[in-house]
Structure 1
Amino acid sequence: MSESKKKIEKLSGVKGMNDLLPAEAVYWEQFERAVRAMLAAYGYRQVRTPIVEHTALFTRGIGEVTDIVEKEMYSFVDALNGEHLTLRPENTAAVVRATIEHNLLYDGPKRLWYMGPMFRHERPQRGRYRQFHQVGVEALGFAGPDVDAEIILMCQRLWDDLGLTDIRLELNSLGQADERARHREALIAYLEQHADALDEDGKRRLYTNPLRVLDTKNPALQDIVNAAPRLIDFLGDASLAHFEGVQARLRENNIPFRINPRLVRGLDYYNLTVFEWVTDRLGAQGTVAGGGRYDPLIEQLGGKPAPGCGWAMGVERIIELLKETTPEMEADGCDVYVVHQGDAAALKASVIGEHLRSAGFDVIVHAGADGQAGSFKSQMKRADASGAVFAVIIGDDEIARDVASVKPLRAGAGEGQRSVALDALASHLADALTGDSSSDAADADDGESSGGHTLH
C-alpha cells in the first residue's frame, strides 16, 4: 500500500476526561444559570485561578498523607525550567494562594466563588472522572458560625432552585488542633488494639493520619470505626459553642441535618465545622457537595492568619441528578431562522442576520455547502428543527419589494405568513415575541402565499 493510501489512525479522548456534547450541555447550562443566580443572591464574586499550580501548594495545603497527594495528582516537571507543577486536584488551596498573593483581605473579608475543571487520577466511574468540574465558594475573613451556616443554606437554596430532592445534610465538628491532638492519641491507642484487623490502607495511616482511618469505605472495618473514640467528645467549650451556633441557624431556617461523628472530610486543612450533602441516588458516589471551615490554611500557605470556610460541589454528579429529575430537556431555541434562496438573497440574509442580532435577537442564518443554500423545503425543515420561533424568508421577490416574509413556527407565535418592511423587521419581531400582534408595518398574507413569492 502506498504512503498516500495508508489509513489514518483515529484518535480518542483521554480515559476519564469526557467530551460535553450539545444534548447534555443543556443540563449544564441550566445548572450554571441557577448557580450564578444563587451566588449573586448571597453577594459572592467570581475568582479564577490557573489550572496549573506549583506542586508544593497542594502538598502543603491538602496534606502529604492524603489520597489526593499520595495517589491522585497529575504532577510533572516542567522540561523548560525544572519546576514541579500539578494540574489542580481541588481549588481551595489555589484561591487562598491567590488571596495571599494579591492581598485581597487588606480591606476586609471576601466572599468568593469559582467554577472550573479539576484533575485526579482515579478509576473512572459514574459521577467520578479524571477531569471533573466543581463549583465552590470561599468565605475568607469570617470567624463566626453565621457564615458556616450561610454557606450551607446556599446549597439548600440551589437544590430548591434546581428542583432536586433526596439530598440530605450531614454535619460534624473537627474542633481545634489541640482537641484533635488529644483525640488522635486516644484513637491511635484504640486502633492499635485492632491493628491485625486493619486493611493495608488503615495500617499505613495508623500513625500518620489516623483520623482518615475513620473515613474508610471498607465494610469490614465499619464495626471497628463505629466503636472508635469520637472526636466530638474531646471538644472544648468554644468549639462546642461554635458548633451549636451553626446548628441553631440551620434549625431556625428549617434545614434538617444529621450529626455524623465519623465525618472528617478528605483534606487536612479543615477545623471546626465540616459537612456533606449526600444522596442515595448515585450509588457509591453519594456526596454531591462538601466543605467546612479551614481557619489554619491561610497562615499555613504563608499569609497573615485569617479564618476561612467554603464548599465545593461536583457538577457531574448534580447533572446526573438533573437527568433523573428531567430525563428529556430541550435546549432553548433561537428567536429567528433566516431562510433564503438566490445569490442576492444570500447576501441580504447575512445583513439581516447581523441587523437582528444587533437588535438583541438570537438568529441563525441558513448556511449551505459551496454557497448552495438548498431547497426552500429543506431550509424550512432546518428552521423548524432549530427551535426558532419565526422564520424570516428572503428571495428575489422580497428583495425587489424591500421586505421580508415572516412565518411563525411555534404555537402562540401568531398565525399566517406576513410581509414586513425590512426597516420595520426588528420592531415587528419584538412585538410578536412579546405578544403584541399589532404592527403598522406588517401586511397580512393569506396562507403560505406571499404576493408572488418565488421560493415555493
Structure 2
Amino acid sequence: MITKPKGTYDVLPLEVREWQKLEETIRKICKLYNYKEIRTPIFESSEVFHRDQNDTSDMVTKETYDFKDRSDRGITLRPEGTAGVARAFVENKLYVDNPVTKLFYMGPMFRYERPQKGRNRQFNQFGVEALGSDSPYIDAEVIALGASLIRALGLKDITVKINSLGDEESRSKYKDVLVEHFGKYKDCLCEDCKNRLIKNPLRILDCKVDRDQEFFKTAPKINEYLNEESKTRFNKVLEALDSMDLKYVIDDNLVRGLDYYCHTVFELEVNVAEFGAQNVIGAGGRYNKLISDLGGPLTPGVGMAFGMERLLLATSFSGKNLAKEEYIHAYFIALGEKAQAEAVKVMNACRIGGLSCEMDYLNGSLKSQFKKADKNNARFTIIFGENELAEMKCNIKDNQTDEQETISLLEVYTYILTKLNKASACNTCPSKN
C-alpha cells in the first residue's frame, strides 16, 4: 500500500467544510479591512528565499525544499508567503497604480521540519501584506485584522506580544552590544548560536536551546538602545492598540524568525489550554527593505501570517464548531428501474434550480435507503415506485417536521423551495447553516 509522505495529511470530505468556513471567514475579514487576494506560485526561484548569506533563520538554513529543475535552475517550494508576494509586487509593478497596496493570500507552504500536532511539512498559511506605507498606524491595523479574525472564529482571550527592533541605526548599535555580551559565553552557546553570533546576533534571542541559561536572561534589552525616532514610532503603535482596546505585552526578547524585520514585530496568542506554552497562533512584523532586495523601489511594508491548521486546532480545542452538520435538500428513494430513471430526471431539474439531491445507485432495500437518507442528513425524502410513477405522484416527507404529503412529481422542486423559503423566514431552515 502506498501511503502519504511523512509530514503531510489528507483533508477528508467530512473535514473540508471546516476549511471552507475558515476560508470564508478570512475573506470576510479581509474585505472589512480592504485587503485584496493575491495568488502566487507554489514554487519560486531559489533566490526569492535564499537572498542573504547572513540569513540564519532555521527556515532558510535548514527547512526549505530545494531542487534543480531540468534546465538546472534552482527551485524552492515556498516555505512562507511574504517573499513570493513581494516578488509578485515587484515583477508586476503593483506599486505604480497603488501607493499603498494591501494584499492577502492563502495556500500550502513547505518546510522540512519535525512533524507535530498542528505543524506539518506541508501546511497552509494565511497572511496579509500592506506595502507602501511606513505609518505606525498601519502596523496597528494589521495586528487588529489578526485579532478580528481570531474573534470571528469564536476565540476571545487574545494577547498581543510586541516588540520593536528599531531602525537600522538602533539595530546596528544593539548588535554590537549583543556580540560583546554573548562573546563572553561563546563556548557555552549552542552550535546554531555560535554561527548567529557571527552572522546575526539578534537571532540568538530567538534560541530555544540557550534561553534558560543565566547569561541569556541577563542579555541587554533592545529597548535600551532604540533611538528617539524608533521609540516615538513604537509608542504610536502601542497608543493605537490602546485605542482599539487590544491587550498587549511588550516582550524584549521577541525578534521573530525571519531576518528582514525592522521596527514592529509581534505575535498573537490565544489562551487554549491544549496548546500549553505553544499558544502563538499568528505573527508578523515590519520589513522596509525586502522589496528593494528583490529589485523593486525602496518600499516599506508590514505583514502577518497564520498557520491555518493552528487556527482550526484552536477552534476545535475551544469547542467551537466552524462547520455545522452537512445536509442535502432531498434524498430520492426510487423503487424500480423506471422510477430510478424518472428520479434522475427530477433530481437534475432540482439541481439546476439550486437544490442538492442524492439517490441510491446500488438498488438497496427500502430500509437501507432510508438509512442513507438519514446519513446524508436529508431535509426531505421523496419516495415513489412504479405504481406512484404511473400517476406521476410521490410521497414527500419533511424530516424536520415529520410532515408527509403526496404530491405530483412535477411539483417536487417548487414544493421544496416553498417550504425552505417559509422556514427561512422564521430562521429554521438548515440552508442558513
Please state whether the residue corresponding to 1:59 is helix, strand or coil: coil
CA distance in 1 between partners of 2:51 and 2:166 (Å): 20
- Helix, strand or coil for the counterpart of 1:60? coil
The reply on whether 1:136 has 2:143 as its aligned counterpart is no
Work out the CA distance in 1 between the residues paired with 2:133 and 2:414: 51
> Where do residues 379-394 of structure 1 align in structure 2 (5 Å cutoff)?
379-394=369-384
Distance 1:436 1:278 in 2: 40
1:431 pairs with 393, 414, 418, which one? 418
* Equivalent of residue 95 in structure 1, options 85, 90, 93: 85
For residues 259-300 of structure 1, the C-alpha deviation after alignment (integer angstroms, 9 at most, x for no partner) is 111100010111111100124631354321000111111011
Q: 1:115 to 1:63 in 2, by over 3 A?
A: farther
Distance verdict in 2 for CA 1:416–1:140, change over 3 Å: same
Instruction: Report the Cα offset of residue 125 of structure 1.
Output: 1.0
1:311 corresponds in structure 2 to: 304
* Residue 338 of structure 1: how far off its partner (Å): 2.0
Deviations 1:46-77 (A, max 9, x none): 11111111111101179632211111011011
Q: Which residue of the partner structure matches residue 301 of structure 1?
A: 294
Structure 2 CA distance, aligned partners of 1:394 and 1:271? 69
Equivalent residue of 1:335, what SS? strand
Alpha-carbon contact 2:165-2:265 (below 8 Å) kept? yes
Deviations 1:73-121 (A, max 9, x none): 110111x210110111001000111111111121112211111111100
Counterparts of 1:388 and 1:254 in 2: how far apart (Å)? 45
Q: Cα 1:28–1:17, aligned 2, differ >3 Å: closer, same or farther?
A: same
Q: Which of 335, 338, 343 is matched with 1:341 structurally?
A: 335
Map of 1:232 onto structure 2: 223
- State which drifts further: 333-342 or 59-68: 59-68
* Residue in 2 that maps onto 1:442: none
2:165 corresponds to which letter in structure 1? L
Letter in 2 for 1:325: S
In the alignment, structure 1 residue 55 sits paired with structure 2 residue 42: no
Tell me if structure 1 keeps the 8 A contact 2:45–2:74. Answer: yes
Other-structure match for 2:150: 159
1:261 and 1:436, CA in 2 relative to 1: closer, same or farther beyond 3 A?
A: closer
TM-score calculated relative to the size of structure 1: 0.87
Instruction: Look up the match of 1:421.
Output: 408
Secondary structure of 2:34's counterpart equals coil
Unmatched segments (≥5 aa) in structure 2: 425-433
1:32 and 2:26 are equivalent in the alignment: no
**Corresponding position of 1:68:** 59
Contact 1:61–1:93, Cα closer than 8 Å, also in 2: no
In structure 1, C-alpha distance between the alignment counterparts of 2:277 and 2:123, rounded to whole Å: 17
CA contact (8 A) 1:170 1:275 kept: yes
CA distance in 1, matches of 2:54, 2:391: 73
* Aligned residues of 2:56 and 2:203 also touching (Cα < 8 A): no
Identity of aligned residues (%): 38
The CA deviation string for residues 408-438 of structure 1, in whole angstroms up to 9 with x for no partner, is 123xxx332112233332221122123369x
CA contact 1:408–1:416 (8 Å) conserved in 2: yes
Query: Letter of the aligned partner of 1:181 in structure 2?
Result: S
Distance of 1:403 and 1:61 partners within structure 2: 74
Over residues 114-159 of structure 1, what are the superposed CA-to-partner deviations in whole Å (9 max), with x where a residue is unaligned? 1111110001111211111111111111221121111111121122
SS for the counterpart of 1:106 is coil
Residue 195 of structure 2 is matched in structure 1 by 204
Aligned to 1:268: 259
Q: Measure, in 2, the Cα distance between the counterparts of 1:391 and 1:219.
A: 64
SS at the partner of 1:331?
coil
| 3-state SS in 1 of match to 2:407 | strand
* Residue 85 of structure 1, aligned match among 42, 59, 75: 75
1:181-240 C-alpha deviation (Å, 9 max, x unpaired) = 111011101111222321222112111111010011125644323321222222222222
> Equivalent of 2:9, from 13, 18, 21?
18
My pick for the range that moved more, 428-437 or 383-392, is 428-437
Residue type matched to 2:301 in 1? G
Distance, in Å, in 2 between the alignment partners of 1:258 and 1:430 is 53
Q: Distance in 2 between matches of 1:322 and 1:293?
A: 28
Larger Rg: 1
How many residue pairs get aligned? The number is 421
Paired amino acid for 1:334 = I
CA distance in 2, matches of 1:417, 1:349: 19
Distance 2:423 2:14 in 1: 33
Alpha carbons of structure 1 residues 243 and 386: separation in structure 2 relative to 1, 3 Å: same
Cα distance in 2 for residues equivalent to 1:132 and 1:90: 10
Deviation at 1:394, TM superposition (A): 3.6
Partner of 1:353: 347
DSSP-derived class of the 1:326 partner: coil
User: Hey, what's the Cα distance between the residues in 2 that align with 1:345 and 1:336?
Assistant: 16
Structure 1 counterpart SS, 2:86: helix
Which whole-Å CA distance do the structure 2 matches of 1:420 and 1:114 have between them? Answer: 49
Cα distance, 1:67–1:431 mapped onto 2, change above 3 Å: same
Distance 1:142 1:347, change over 3 A: farther
Partner AA of 1:104 in structure 2: L
2:118 equivalent to 1:127: yes
Check if 1:194 corresponds to 2:185: yes
Quote the Cα distance in structure 2 between the aligned partners of 1:61 and 1:158.
33
Over 3 Å counting, the alpha-carbon distance change for 1:397 and 1:150 in structure 2 is farther
Distance 1:215 1:409, change over 3 A: same
Using the alignment, how far apart are the partners of 1:337 and 1:90 within structure 2?
Answer: 44
* Counterpart position of 2:429: none
Which residue of the partner structure matches residue 44 of structure 1?
35
* Partner AA of 1:423 in structure 2: L
The question of 1:331 aligning with 2:325 is answered yes
Q: Which runs of 5+ in 1 are unaligned?
A: 1-9, 438-456
Letter in 1 for 2:172: A
Whether the 8 Å CA contact 1:215–1:262 is kept in 2: the answer is: yes
Q: Does structure 2 retain, via aligned residues, the 8 Å contact 1:145–1:245?
A: yes
What is the rounded CA distance, in whole Å, between the counterparts of 2:295 and 2:324 in structure 1?
48
User: Within 2, Cα distance between the matches of 1:266 and 1:337?
Assistant: 52
Checking the alignment, whether the CA contact within 8 Å between 2:42 and 2:78 is kept in structure 1 is: yes
Task: Give the TM-score, by structure 2 length.
Answer: 0.92
